[in-house]
Amino acid sequence: MPLQSFTFVLGGAASGKTAFAERLVLSSGLKPVYIATAQAFDSEMQAKIDRHKDDRGTGWRTVEEPVDLASALSTVSGGEAVLIDCATLWLTNIILGEADAAAAEADLLEAVARCPAPVIIVSNEVGAGIVPENALARTFRNAQGKLNQRLAGQADTVIAVMAGLPLVLKGVLP
């Protein structure tokens, strides 16, 4: 089955969601594009970014864009398939940069709808744990939950990944 125009993949930390999403992109037969939202503020994050690059190999076109995903999506052609990894780090960048999160979300959703290529967005499910003890963490958790709901609402297919295994929540597994 071909890749849907918008697939949303979510799960917990280290659940296998990125690897699963990468396999979906590669199985499409289209040219793979990886839009990376991570920023390396410390050596641990740099090591994680380096691992992700090594795991992907050289066949991907990588666009590093921590904030302006609409611009990054505007560079994509119809012969490509896009993986945005991840909405959680993107939202972190928006909030910490004190940007207008509502406007950024609207721009992202519009850009995904306009994109001529299939798009897969990876995101963390952060609301299943305890209530965070500080206001910033609670603000982030709530904003991430609302963003995930908006992305899932627009997506053709929504897949939760747990222990590396996909569970289709909406649509059909490509």
For the record, the structure tokens of 164 come out as 């590396």
- Please give the share of the chain, as a percent, with pLDDT higher than 70: 99
The mean pLDDT of 89-93, rounded to a whole number, is: 96
pLDDT at residue 35 greater than cutoff 70: yes
pLDDT tens, position by position, 119-143: 999 999 998 888 889 999 999 999 9
Known catalytic membership, residue 52: yes
pLDDT tens, position by position, 161-172: 999 999 999 999
CATH number where 137 lies: 3.40.50.300
The answer to whether residue 113 is domain-embedded is: yes
E strands within 47-96?
Answer: 61-64, 80-85
Q: How many distinct structural domains can be found in the chain?
A: 1
Range of the domain at 132: 6-169
CB atoms within 10 A of CB 17: 25
DSSP label of 60: S
The answer to whether residue 96 is domain-embedded is: yes
pLDDT at 2: 61
Mean pLDDT of the chain: 93
Could you give the strand order of the β-sheet that contains 119-124, starting from the edge strand earlier in sequence?
Answer: 61-64, 31-36, 80-85, 119-124, 6-11, 157-162, 165-170
pLDDT at residue 31 greater than cutoff 90: yes
Q: How far is CA 27 from the centre of its chain?
A: 18
The answer to whether residue 1 is domain-embedded is: no
The answer to whether residue 174 is domain-embedded is: no
The answer to whether residue 90 is domain-embedded is: yes
Q: Which residue has the higher pLDDT, 153 or 56?
A: 153
Q: Residue 114 — pLDDT band, cuts 50, 70, 90?
A: very high
Catalytic, out of 12, 16, 52, 109: 52
pLDDT at 1: 47
The mean pLDDT of 142-166, rounded to a whole number, is: 96
pLDDT tens, position by position, 62-87: 999 999 999 999 999 999 999 999 99
Q: Which residue has the higher pLDDT, 37 or 57?
A: 37
